[in-house]
Chains A and B, each alone.
Chain A
Amino acid sequence: MKYIQEYRKPEIQKKIIKEIHKYGSELRKRINIMEVCGTHTMAIGKYGIRKIMPESINLISGPGCPVCVTPLNYIDKAIELSKINDVIITTFGDMMKVPGSYSSLEKEKSNGSKIFVVYSPVDALEIAEKNNSKNVIFLSVGFETTTPSIAQTIKIAKDKKIKNFFILCGNKIIPPAMEFLLKEKDTEINGFLCPGHVSTIIGIEPYKKISEKYNIPCVISGFEPADILYSIYLILRCIIEGKAEVINEYKRTVREKGNLKAKKIINEVFEICDSEWRGIGKIENSGYKLKDELSQFDAEKKFKIDVKYPKEKTGCICGEILKGKKKPFECPLFEKICNPENPFGPCMVSSEGTCSAYYKYEKR
């Protein structure tokens, strides 16, 4: 089985699209299906899926881009930390360009701050081991997909007694954000396309609670075009049959209970806390912080930094976009003033941001 080509055969896509149109015509009103995950947003843009949907199906993008929802205050803190002598900042590449209140990591790098892009937190730890006269801080952002590898890195650092490695913790949990959006006034979501990668870790249980409580179908989807189209079809079928089920379309990766080992490691290192989501606000129990007994790895405790009150740019509607209330085309800044080279808000910076996806694949 070829896991890319098999899922990209044009004839398969066309067959599912035909079914979606058939079912779509049975709908009595226009429905909103939210793809929670940024990788889905990108795939939907890349394969032109939004454009081939029937009139009756509206695909809206959700808050599942980790860079987009990282609060401004976090970016400002990272920038301040990068200015400290002997500090090396290590980060996933997407964070480099995110505008803080007054600067960005990319600009600080050109000013001489030591900032390295890494592909894994383990690489950041290696940098710490090789530079023991420096303090290495890893910008720890991401959802359940990324959190286990960061937790594992902390465990390794503890075992090896590494004293110069820290994280600035901003990790987030997806299901509470989904629930938050369902409670929002004037957002109507009729079905969730649930994130495949996150589900690989958390399994299908967390969605069952949401699905039952709010009577909404949730389909866990893979990322190939055939996966996404088939998941949309499954949601559609649930809606028409009046069922609020959780269906796992991404069975080749996602197990019922998720990844038990990964969940265990997360619980050993982190504890759940309330968390601030950029553009959305504070969501209860939607974030992680280091457990007290591991606070020696907490960059905020180690370094005293003074961060000014965050200053969000005016006119940007990223918040409304992250909640699925508005689409990028409705933003007066989109394309004209805000574009990937000169991003105003986080949804345009991140390679998985909704505005970035629309700009890249759908701009007029």
Chain B
Amino acid sequence: MPIINMKKDKILISHGSGGKLMYSLIENIFLKKFKNEIIEKLTDSAVIEFDDFELCFTTDSYTVDPIFFNGGDIGKLSVCGTLNDLSVMGAIPLYLSSSFIIEEGFDIDLLEKITESMKRISDIAGVKIVTGDTKVVEKGKVDKIFINTSGIGIKDKNLKIGIENIKVGDVVIINGTIGEHGMAVLLSRNMFNIKSNIKSDCAPLNKLINEIIEIGGIKFMRDPTRGGVSATLNEIVRNQKFGILIYEDKIPVKEEVLSMCEILGFDPLNIANEGKVIIICDKKKSEEIIKRMRKNIYGKEARIIGEIVKNPEGKVIMETITGSIRIVDSPIGEQFPRIC
């Protein structure tokens, strides 16, 4: 882990990438100052224990560029992202806050569209936006609009979801095709003069997740957003006494995404998703879980993509299409900034 020299170093774009550099910033700056028994777990939401339930609390800021992209907009993203961070903890999301930092001169018409989209998604998901804040800054001080949302949800005390429950032999499930969000946002920037139908997968996953939690056998969940599936799987195995083996030919990628990845030199495993969840569960329950997921609109292509293995400890490996094995590392640095 690179050591941050606070007197000399400056923040680089890569520090916000969700990769190793960001982890080192969190560890060396934020955790060092804020350290307590809740934050140090670095889970998607903080879990605060009460007598008969647990409260999950999370926050996220959205700076996506462009603010409208194929398959969504910054408003939809700001609701889905926070909802999903609560859901993967096993919580039922209830209330959200919304804070807007808006650049002077921003079209009110666009603000209407963004808030309309937030309202629509929160209605679908069954959550309420109950508080908010507005700040306007001089032109050029932010790029159009940034949104922060925080969310709370409640979780059954008896529901044990956490990395500590994972065992060798458990399986890794994903609810569908990968890489669409990052690619859709990138292509919406019109940098490459390429027309494409790739749509962001941005979606609220709380209902899908609630449905499968009932089945039981779920050990851990996380949404593979920035850094994609490879970053998420590496987060799961970090410092653990197990590894993850995935199979290249089982990983679902739409043909269009695969083609764009080839053109631009990206690995679909490293590209952000906003409507996907990685589920580690007991193998015995996997069939039932997948069956249930496939009934939900956001889980139609759910499948097993890998398994928990004893060796190599703390690493993610992949059986490639040549029958060989390679390492799957976390992406390093910024693939492309401001995708969420």
Which residues of chain B are near A119, meaning CB under 8 Å?
Answer: 191-192
Q: Say yes or no: B2 contacts A47, CB within 8 Å.
A: no
Closest-CB distance, A362 to chain B (whole angstroms) = 6
A14 to B325, CA, bound (A): 14
Q: List 15 A-B contacts (CB under 8 A).
A: A4-B259, A10-B323, A17-B323, A46-B267, A46-B326, A47-B321, A51-B326, A52-B322, A107-B10, A225-B321, A225-B322, A229-B322, A340-B333, A342-B2, A359-B329
Interface of B is mostly: loop
Segment 1-52 of A: residues with Cβ below 8 Å from B: 2, 4-5, 8-10, 13-14, 17, 45-49, 51-52
**Does A360 sit at the interface, judged by CB under 8 A?**
yes
Chain A residues within 8 Å of chain B by Cβ, number: 34
Q: Which of A5, A110, A361, A362 has the most CB of B within 10 A?
A: A361
Which residues of chain B are near A48, meaning CB under 8 Å?
Answer: 320, 322, 324-326
Segment 207-229 of A: residues with Cβ below 8 Å from B: 225, 229
A359 to B24, CA, bound (A): 19
Segment 249-299 of B: residues with Cβ below 8 Å from A: 249, 255, 258-259, 262, 265, 267
Closest-CB distance, A100 to chain B (whole angstroms) = 16
Please encode chain A, from 47 to 59, with 1 for each CB lying within 8 Å of some chain B CB and 0 for all others.
1110110000000
**Does B111 sit at the interface, judged by CB under 8 A?**
no
**Does B6 sit at the interface, judged by CB under 8 A?**
no
Please encode chain B, from 1 to 45, with 1 for each CB lying within 8 Å of some chain A CB and 0 for all others.
010000000111010000011001000000000000000000000
Q: A107-B10, A111-B10, A342-B2 are in contact. Are A361 and B326 (CB under 8 A)?
A: yes
Closest-CB distance, A175 to chain B (whole angstroms) = 24
**Does B332 sit at the interface, judged by CB under 8 A?**
yes
A52 to B321, CA, bound (A): 12
**Does A301 sit at the interface, judged by CB under 8 A?**
no
Q: A47-B324, A49-B322 are in contact. Are A341 and B10 (CB under 8 A)?
A: no
**Does A114 sit at the interface, judged by CB under 8 A?**
no
A294 to B10, CA, bound (A): 39
Q: Say yes or no: B320 contacts A47, CB within 8 Å.
A: yes
B20 — nearest CB in chain A belongs to which residue? A341
A4 to B261, CA, bound (A): 11
Which residues of chain A are near B323, meaning CB under 8 Å?
Answer: 10, 13-14, 17, 52
A229 to B321, CA, bound (A): 12
The 4 closest A-B pairs by CB, nearest first: A48-B324, A110-B10, A48-B326, A340-B332
Q: A14-B323, A17-B323, A351-B265 are in contact. Are A360 and B329 (CB under 8 A)?
A: yes
**Does B215 sit at the interface, judged by CB under 8 A?**
no
A48 to B247, CA, bound (A): 13
Closest-CB distance, A91 to chain B (whole angstroms) = 14
Q: Besides A51-B326, A362-B327, 12 other CB < 8 A contacts?
A: A4-B258, A13-B321, A17-B322, A45-B326, A48-B326, A52-B324, A111-B10, A225-B322, A229-B322, A340-B333, A341-B2, A363-B329
- Residue in contact with A46 in the complex, picked from B191, B255, B320, CB distance below 8 Å: B320
A123 to B190, CA, bound (A): 12
A351 — nearest CB in chain B belongs to which residue? B265
Which residues of chain A are near B192, meaning CB under 8 Å?
Answer: 119
Which residues of chain B are near A45, meaning CB under 8 Å?
Answer: 326
A341 to B14, CA, bound (A): 10
A119 to B321, CA, bound (A): 30
Please encode chain B, from 178 to 191, with 1 for each CB lying within 8 Å of some chain A CB and 0 for all others.
00000000000001
A45 to B317, CA, bound (A): 12
Please encode chain A, from 335 to 364, with 1 for each CB lying within 8 Å of some chain B CB and 0 for all others.
000001110000000010000000111110
Q: A10-B323, A341-B332, A342-B2 are in contact. Are A110 and B12 (CB under 8 A)?
A: yes
A32 to B274, CA, bound (A): 45
A49 — nearest CB in chain B belongs to which residue? B322
Q: Say yes or no: B326 contacts A362, CB within 8 Å.
A: yes
**Does A179 sit at the interface, judged by CB under 8 A?**
no
Q: Say yes or no: A341 contacts B333, CB within 8 Å.
A: yes
Which residues of chain A are near B332, meaning CB under 8 Å?
Answer: 340-341
Segment 313-339 of B: residues with Cβ below 8 Å from A: 320-327, 329, 332-333
A2 to B21, CA, bound (A): 38
**Does A312 sit at the interface, judged by CB under 8 A?**
no
**Does A106 sit at the interface, judged by CB under 8 A?**
yes
**Does A77 sit at the interface, judged by CB under 8 A?**
no
**Does A325 sit at the interface, judged by CB under 8 A?**
no
- Residue in contact with A110 in the complex, picked from B11, B326, B329, CB distance below 8 Å: B11
A351 to B332, CA, bound (A): 10
**Does A97 sit at the interface, judged by CB under 8 A?**
yes
Which residues of chain A are near B20, meaning CB under 8 Å?
Answer: 341
Q: Say yes or no: A47 contacts B326, CB within 8 Å.
A: yes
Q: A106-B12, A340-B333 are in contact. Are A363 and B327 (CB under 8 A)?
A: yes
A361 to B326, CA, bound (A): 5
Q: Say yes or no: B249 contacts A10, CB within 8 Å.
A: yes
Q: Say yes or no: A47 contacts B12, CB within 8 Å.
A: no
A107 to B323, CA, bound (A): 41
A135 to B21, CA, bound (A): 33
A362 to B323, CA, bound (A): 15
A225 to B14, CA, bound (A): 31
- Residue in contact with A13 in the complex, picked from B11, B322, B327, CB distance below 8 Å: B322
A336 to B323, CA, bound (A): 29
Which residues of chain B are near A49, meaning CB under 8 Å?
Answer: 322, 324
A97 to B333, CA, bound (A): 10
Q: Say yes or no: A47 contacts B327, CB within 8 Å.
A: no
Segment 226-256 of A: residues with Cβ below 8 Å from B: 229
A342 to B21, CA, bound (A): 10
A145 to B78, CA, bound (A): 42
Closest-CB distance, A266 to chain B (whole angstroms) = 23
A97 to B21, CA, bound (A): 13
Closest-CB distance, A17 to chain B (whole angstroms) = 7
Which residues of chain A are near B265, meaning CB under 8 Å?
Answer: 351
